[in-house]
Structures are given as structure tokens and as C-alpha cells.
Structure 1
Amino acid sequence: MTRILIKNAAVVTMDDRIGDFETADILIEDGEIKEIRPDIDAEASVDAKIIDAAGMIAIPGLWDAHRHTWQTGLRGILADGRIPDYLRGFRIQMATLYRPEDMYAANYAGGLDCLENGVTGLVDYCHNIINEDYARASVEGLKASGVRGLYGHGMVPVTENTFADGRGLSEGNEKADLSHNWRYETAREIRKEYFGDDDLLRFGIAPQELAIAPAAEVEQEFDLARELNARITFHSNQVAVPDGGMRDMHTLSEHGLLGPDVNLVHMTFTNPEEWDILDGSGASVTLCAETEMQMGMGFPVAVEATRYTEAGPSLGMDCTSSTSGDMLAHARLVLQCTRWHGDAVHYENFSHPKKIHWTTRDALAWVTINGARAAGVDDITGSLTPGKRADIVLLDMRGIAFAGWNRKDPCSMVVSQANSRNVHTVLVDGKIVKQGGPLLHVDPEAAVAKLESSHDFLNEVMDENGGFIPQPPVPLPLYEA
């Protein structure tokens, strides 16, 4: 039996039945949380590795519920871009220039980036699958990183006329398999070869968007996911269209596709009637607020997602090509945006709001238990609950920057004050992967070298092929009406 005993931490469990602790110990046995309480006795610590967490806050491992991890090698390239720039730069240009080894390097380094930032759970929406080799490389990169999560196998064609302008995404790309049926067989093969039902990394399906594919095709892809017992991660209602917005919920409902195994991403242009359809379906909603506001994809819908889903939203950072992987910063941003959104009616009437309707605990739920729920694993992780797996982050609050921190409400400190630099210790499934320094289970320098080599290659072929957005830009009527 392998035992770890975390001593003297302030503990934020995100389990209302247990509550929080100003000071407590956490006993872990064979990767499972066994007990949380003050002063766990000496007998329990026999043969245990002791972690002294005095001055630290223990929280559940963070979750990023939506990330295109394959873009890790082009970090920050789209920090000043809008959605047409993203589509032209990544989906039409760069997607076709990637090699399988670039997919591996990005997913491997992307998973490590998560762990470095205290993100123990990731929903990867992998929509650059040009052929079977790309799928295998993507899965192997994530698995090698040691992050928990969901690999979302992209059904979006990188090879056909995906956009309304009629240009094929991989015209002239000899690597591309120009059919679509192979994606179904590859999904079945990848699922069987790489994934068990209880693995650290689980299998999911990322169907085509209804904005770009016939409903009948999308239905087939949902059916495939259910055949394979795969979670569904689905871009939805993220395109601004005239006359009241998109109608994805109508279409999904008419085809009987909504359900608790579906995670809907963005939902920024969802009208009230569509929200009513979602209500009671069991589907979850993920916001990617930083990217949505930057790229012109609408205002994050935390208010609506809380009202019309069982537990409220989860959060994703979407793309490191635009934003960072600091999920605590993301939670803080969404919390304040949501507060502003709810208070706007007061400002319009030149009055002051009297109450806080969205709390730091709400925000921490968005990036812990709700993220686990989006991935379909909230029964085993997402909160510090005895019986769940030990995905735990210790945030170091020692030092002048955090002196005087509020011991009576550690949750408020986590969301209002902490960030990635506070991440001291990270456990995934009871395994210590970071403790007071670099990641322990890998060679970080080798991972950086692999990603930088990929970065250099991609920039070289980008320049050889007209840059990130070749001129004149391809028209995108759907997004530029």
C-alpha cells in the first residue's frame, strides 16, 4: 500500500457535505482520498510520505474543460485576432501544415503545461485529425504527459469543403485522406487500442458543428459516440446569425441528441427559446470567456448556463494560441464579468447593486467539480471527498505577496488572489507530479526542446506558404455577413 499524508493545510474540499477546514490533514492510500480531518493520528502516518503543507491551501485539481491542445506550439500567435483570423490562420492554413510529430509535441507539452499550472484534468478537443497517424500521435502525446482527462476525437474534416466559401481545407495536401468514412473506423480503432473505461485519459468524440455540417451527419457522429460509450464535446451556437441567433438546440432536440453525455461549448449566441430547450436535458455547458470576448464570439453565458443547467458552467481556456493556461486567472475573469453582467441593469438606472449574486465559491466550482462533470468523471474526481481519486493541488500562500491572507475563508483567497505561480505541489491519481519545483515525472527540458523544434518547423513552413493568413484572405461568409 502506498500512503501519502498531507499535514496542516487549509483545505477547500468543494464538497458541501464536508465543508472547508482552516487546518486539516488529508490521508491518501493507493491514490484514493481516505480521510480529511484535523490531526490524523500517528498510526495512519506509518510508512506514509509526509507533505508538510503549513501555509498552503489544498484544493481539488483544476479542470480545463475545453482546449485545442494541438495549438500549443504556436502560443500567442493569435493574441490580437478575431474568429475569422483564427479560421483562416489555423483551420485553413496551419492545420494542413502540421505533421503527426507536431501533434504529439503539442499534446505532450500541452498536457505538461496543464500540470505545471495545477490543471490535473483536461478536455482536449482535437480537431486536426488529417489521417490515422495524427490521431495516434495526439493520443500518445496526451497519455505521455500524465494528465487526467478526455481526448475528444475530432470528426471535423480537415480535407473537405468545410466552410461556406467552398475552399477545401487540405487542397493539395498529399497527407490528407479525402474521404470521411475513415474517421468512424479510426475512432473505433483508437478507442479499442488506447482506452479503457476507467483509464486516466478517456475517449470522447468531437462531432462536426451544425454551422458547417448537415444534421444527418452530425447525428451519425453522436450515434458513433454512444456506440463507443464516449463523452461528446460539441461546439454550439457560437456563430452570430441574423434573426435571433443559431438554432442548434432545436436541431439537437428534434434528432433526440441532447443528453447528460453532451457538453456544449460556447453557446454565446443562444436565444431564450433555445435555453428553454436545453433546460432539463442533462447536458452541460462550457464557457471559454477569454477567447470568446477576444475573438468576437459574444459575451460569456455564465448567468444563463447557471439558470438552465443542473450545476452551472465549466470553463475552458480554448487555445494557448490566444490565451494562457492559468485557470485561476480565467475563473477570476469570468466571475467579475458575470458580476458586471448581472449588475448592468443597476448602472443603466444610475443605482448601486446591493448584493453579490456570484461568489468565489461559484467560480472555483466552475474550474473544479463542474469541469470534472463536463468530462463525465465527477463521480471520481473534482472535489476532495473520501473515496474519490487524489487529484490535489497545494497552493503556497507563504511570502510577502500573500502575507495576511484570510484563513477563515481560504476559498475566497484561491479565486481572488492566487495564480499559477502559487502552484507548489500537484498530485494526479495520488501520484506526486510536481512538488516545489519542476515536474517530477518527465524531463521538462526535453519536452520544451521537442515543442520548440516543432514551433520552428511550423514557422518555417508557414513563411514558405504565405504566412499565418495568406493574402488575399479567403472569404468567410458565415462569419463576415
Structure 2
Amino acid sequence: MTAGVPESEDRPTFTPGRPVVFRNATILTMENGAVIDGGDLLVVGERIAEVGQGIAAPDDAVEIDATGGILMPGMVDTHRHMWQTALRGLGADWTLTQYFVFYYLTWGKIFRPEDIHAGNVLSAIEAIDSGVTTTLDWSHGLQTVEHGDAAVDALRSVPGRFVLAYGNLLGAPWEWTHSPEFRGFVRRHFDSPDDMLGLQLAFDVTADPAFPEKAAFEAARDLGLRVTTHAGVWGATNDDSIRLMWEHDFMTPDVTYVHAATLTEDSYQRIAATGGTVSVSTESEQSAGQGYPPTWQLRRHGIPVSLSMDTSVWWSADLFSAMRATLSADRSREHHEAHARGETVVHNHLRAEQVAHWATIGGAQALGLDSVTGSLVAGKKADIVLIRNDRSPALYPLLHPYGSLVFQAGRGDVHTVLVNGKVVKHDHELIGVDLDAARAAVGRTVEYARSTMGDEAWQQSLTPELPPTERVPNPYTYTDYDGGSTRHRAQREAPAAAQQPAN
């Protein structure tokens, strides 16, 4: 930047097709542990042209100084209910049971196609702003194909890479997956391959011995689609769900098991044996109650892991937070198990590098997009994130780049984002995105939802009933308040006094 010239006046012009070269970055390629210090990366068109040091760039290339920064693949979120972003934060104090009551039993039915569209757009913008270049939209609010059309239109309107996982929480998947309306939807929107917007089926297996979900799995096979399913969720899906899938030969590498937090050894063995992947939503599992985040189990069984944020009715699109929470939860469990055996953990099994891998190439592999994105190698699509914030004391010195990424970096440190070779964020500002319009649309959904629910139901959702807490009696009570000082002596001195001989 030229001295005395505001950044907004000195910002480069990013025109379609103009090459972009990053200079002097610490590059985390996510390929075989390769880290390139003082590295360069050249983007030409949609793809990464070259990664290395001292790269010769075309004369018309835009040069981005990445000195002191981390260059990494765009992150991949493999499970996010994007439509629920329209009611961001409403469920901050909910349990999973209250979530089910709100969306499945009472108010999920009020969402119109325009509300799906509004939530998806804001969620998609939030994702690319956070350095998440690929998101699987676990879209179980699609009550009609018109809702599905709205979801697709929203995702195509934002310059990110997405996978629509089509679901309908108010319908039976063995019925809607075979309906003429749904099949017409698939033909309209997904007749030709497009790595910018893919399609999966999203439904859960309830453990009904009749296994009605068989027809939904058959539909996935017929359409050549992957399946994503909530598995091992306390009180909802369990080992019987896994067993039914196994017995009917529907456990394949094309299935992602979301959460998988309350399964037994046998179910983990079945997932491992069939090449399935697990999407871990650590903040969700810790707070809502699906079960303890299972990475400590998945590692032991060699099950591939990806990370996800679940829903902004609680959380956000911040995969930095997901990485940090996941690493901490895994290590906490390891310490807890060791302490129960009277032992001490002296070496951590899970490392920051592995968690960063799960957030990038691990997610791409789970979505079947690892030939497209997830790592920084020549030939792949240019989904790239530069972590750099010269105003942050937390990003210097950069001694352990994976450690800094997982433990120090945050969404505010996302300097530049490219998706499919297109610059969508630079110098901490989004490019070509109408955030004001997205906010306005969500505002209309909030007004509609509040008026439809009524003030009483709305307030109950914001402030669910607080159960009483039974206090543990404390023997160390305070006595003799005098002149602002507090002394506690009765419980401590009484035993000593009792030992004195009687006069």
C-alpha cells in the first residue's frame, strides 16, 4: 500500500480471468504434511497453476503480499442446516429436545420458500466470509419442491461451493424420494454435473424394525446420490439404525454419519469396515446433548473425520471454533480416561495438524470432492484462504503454523478468499455480495415468524423454562459478619474445640 493512500483506494482490481499470485506465505498444502515457508501460489482461471517458491507469474497477475500469513485450502463444512440461520441464536439456551419440539412438532411447518431462501443466502455469505468455501446444506426444511427451488436459487446466488442435501423433516423419506415432484426437481436442477452445486439425500434411520427407509436408500442408488444421516444421536438414532443399514447392505463409502456420538464398538466397526465417514459437530454435541464428540473413538477405528457447525439457531459458520473445540474435546476425553485409570497422559495423540486436515481435505473427501478442492496442489480448483491480520498480536510469531491456525486464528483474520479462482473476499472485505439485501430478507422472515408464532411462543423460545437447581449443602459457612469483614470459623474451630479436655 502506498503511504498516505487509504486501503480502499489502493485495492487491486480483480477482473474475471486475471491471474492472482500470492507471495511469501506459509503454505499449508494439506497434502502429505507439506508446509512451504516463504511460498508462492499462482492461480490462473479457476485452477491452481503452481505452488512453490519464486514462481514466475504472468505480467498482468494481481500480486497479493502474504508475508506473515498462512495460506491454506478453503475449509469444508459437511453438515449445516443453512435455512435455520434466518432465526440465528433463537435457541441459544435450548436442549436438543427443545430443538426437536420447535422444528419437528410446532414451528418448522411455518417456514415458506422465501424463508428458506433468506436463511440460505445469509448462511452462505457468512460461510465464505469465514473462509469456508464449501458447505453441505443439510436442508431438511424442504416441505415442498418449491422450498427446494428456493434453496437452490439461494445457493447459486452466492459465490461459494455448495452441496444441497435434500431433506424434509415433516415428510417420510421413503415417500418423497420417489415422488414425481422430487424427481422433476432433480432433473431441473441437477441434470448435468456441476462441482459448484451438488446434491445428496438427507434423512435419518429411526430404527423401526420394518426399515421403511430402505426405499429412500434405493432412491439414492437409483439417482446415484450420496446419503447423509444423523446417527448415534442420544434419544433419536442408535445402534439399531446402523444394524438395519448393515443388514440391508446400505452401509457404503457414499454415506456420511453425522454426530455418531452414542454408538457402540460394533457400530463403529461396521462404519470403518464399509468406508463410511463421520461429520463431527463438536460444539453441537457438547451443548445440545447428542453425545460426547466421538473423535477419540473414530481415531481408534480409523474412521475418516470431517467437521461441521450444525446450525446457527445455536452456533455460527466459524470452523476455527470447530477446530479448537474438537481438539480440546478429544484431549479432554483422553485425559479423563487416563485419570480414571490412575494414569497421566504425557503425549497427545491428536495434533493440531490432524484437526486442520479434517477441516479441509477431510471434508472434501467426505463429500466426494477431494479431486476438486481441499488441498493446495496444481490442477485443483482454486479454493484458497489467506489468514493474515497485521493488526492482531495473536498471529505473531508464527512458530507452529498448524497451532496458530487452530488455537490463535479466528474468522476476523480471514484476509482473502478465493472460490473456484474467483476472489470473493480481500483485505477483510467481501466482494460482489449484497449483505444489506440478505439482512433485509432475513429481517422479513423474523417478522413473519414472530407474528405467526405470537409473542408468548416467541418469548418462550427465547427464554425456555429454567429448571430448579438443588444446591449442595456447604459445611464451610460464613459467620460473624462485622464491619464489612467476613470470618468463617465455626466449622473449622469446632472440631479442635471438641478435643479440648473439659474443665
> Which of 15, 18, 24 pairs up with 2:39?
24
- Give the superposition deviation at 1:61: 0.4
Q: Give the equivalent residue in structure 2 for 1:111.
A: 124
> Which of 201, 206, 221 pairs up with 1:205?
201
Tell me the alpha carbon deviations over residues 335-362 of structure 1, each in whole angstroms, 9 at most, x when there is no partner: 0110111222332245431101110011
**Inter-CA distance 348–229: structure 2 relative to 1 (3 Å threshold):** same
Q: Give the equivalent residue in structure 2 for 1:239.
A: 234
Q: Give the equivalent residue in structure 1 for 2:67.
A: 54
Matching of residue 421 in structure 1 with residue 417 in structure 2: no
Matching of residue 150 in structure 1 with residue 163 in structure 2: yes
> Which of 227, 246, 256 pairs up with 1:253?
246
Structure 2 portions without partners, runs of 5+: 1-16, 465-503
> Which of 122, 130, 138 pairs up with 1:125?
138
Q: Give the equivalent residue in structure 2 for 1:289.
A: 282
Q: Give the equivalent residue in structure 2 for 1:12.
A: 28
> Which of 433, 436, 455 pairs up with 1:445?
436
Matching of residue 454 in structure 1 with residue 445 in structure 2: yes
Matching of residue 220 in structure 1 with residue 211 in structure 2: no
Tell me the alpha carbon deviations over residues 359-380 of structure 1, each in whole angstroms, 9 at most, x when there is no partner: 0011111111111112110111
Q: Could you tell me whether the CA contact under 8 Å between 2:259 and 2:293 is conserved in 1?
A: yes
Q: Which structure has the bigger radius of gyration?
A: 2
Q: Could you tell me whether the CA contact under 8 Å between 1:188 and 1:228 is conserved in 2?
A: no
- SS of equivalent residue, structure 1 residue 151: strand
> Which of 348, 353, 368 pairs up with 1:361?
353
Give me the whole-angstrom Cα distance separating, in 1, the residues matched to 2:224 and 2:109: 30
1:188-199 superposed matches below 5 A: 188-195=183-190, 196-199=192-195
Q: Could you tell me whether the CA contact under 8 Å between 1:93 and 1:468 is conserved in 2?
A: no
Q: Could you tell me whether the CA contact under 8 Å between 2:395 and 2:404 is conserved in 1?
A: no
TM-score by length of 2: 0.84
Whichever residue aligns with residue 113 of structure 2, its letter is P
Q: Give the equivalent residue in structure 2 for 1:343.
A: 335
Give me the whole-angstrom Cα distance separating, in 1, the residues matched to 2:158 and 2:143: 22
- Give the superposition deviation at 1:149: 2.2
Q: Could you tell me whether the CA contact under 8 Å between 1:284 and 1:309 is conserved in 2?
A: no
Q: Give the equivalent residue in structure 1 for 2:300.
A: 307
- Give the superposition deviation at 1:250: 1.1
Whichever residue aligns with residue 227 of structure 2, its letter is I
- Give the superposition deviation at 1:143: 1.5
- Give the superposition deviation at 1:456: 1.8
Q: CA RMSD in A?
A: 2.3
Give me the whole-angstrom Cα distance separating, in 2, the residues matched to 1:387 and 1:468: 52
- SS of equivalent residue, structure 1 residue 367: helix
Q: Could you tell me whether the CA contact under 8 Å between 1:89 and 1:469 is conserved in 2?
A: no
Give me the whole-angstrom Cα distance separating, in 1, the residues matched to 2:171 and 2:422: 40
**Inter-CA distance 444–334: structure 2 relative to 1 (3 Å threshold):** same
Tell me the alpha carbon deviations over residues 455-474 of structure 1, each in whole angstroms, 9 at most, x when there is no partner: 2211221226844768xx9x
Q: Which one scores higher on RCO, CA 8 angstroms, separation ≥ 6?
A: 1
Q: Could you tell me whether the CA contact under 8 Å between 1:462 and 1:468 is conserved in 2?
A: no
Q: Give the equivalent residue in structure 1 for 2:317.
A: 325
> Which of 353, 375, 383 pairs up with 1:383?
375
- SS of equivalent residue, structure 1 residue 394: strand
Give me the whole-angstrom Cα distance separating, in 1, the residues matched to 2:108 and 2:48: 42
Matching of residue 280 in structure 1 with residue 280 in structure 2: no
Q: Give the equivalent residue in structure 2 for 1:262.
A: 255
Tell me the alpha carbon deviations over residues 56-81 of structure 1, each in whole angstroms, 9 at most, x when there is no partner: 21111011110111100111111111
Give me the whole-angstrom Cα distance separating, in 2, the residues matched to 1:469 and 1:213: 33
- Give the superposition deviation at 1:262: 0.7
Whichever residue aligns with residue 15 of structure 1, its letter is E
Give me the whole-angstrom Cα distance separating, in 2, the residues matched to 1:345 and 1:258: 30
Give me the whole-angstrom Cα distance separating, in 1, the residues matched to 2:29 and 2:452: 48
**Inter-CA distance 466–332: structure 2 relative to 1 (3 Å threshold):** closer
Amino-acid identity (%): 29
**Inter-CA distance 185–146: structure 2 relative to 1 (3 Å threshold):** farther
- Number of residue pairs aligned between Structure 1 and Structure 2: 445
TM-score by length of 1: 0.87
Whichever residue aligns with residue 191 of structure 1, its letter is V
- Give the superposition deviation at 1:286: 0.6
- SS of equivalent residue, structure 2 residue 134: strand
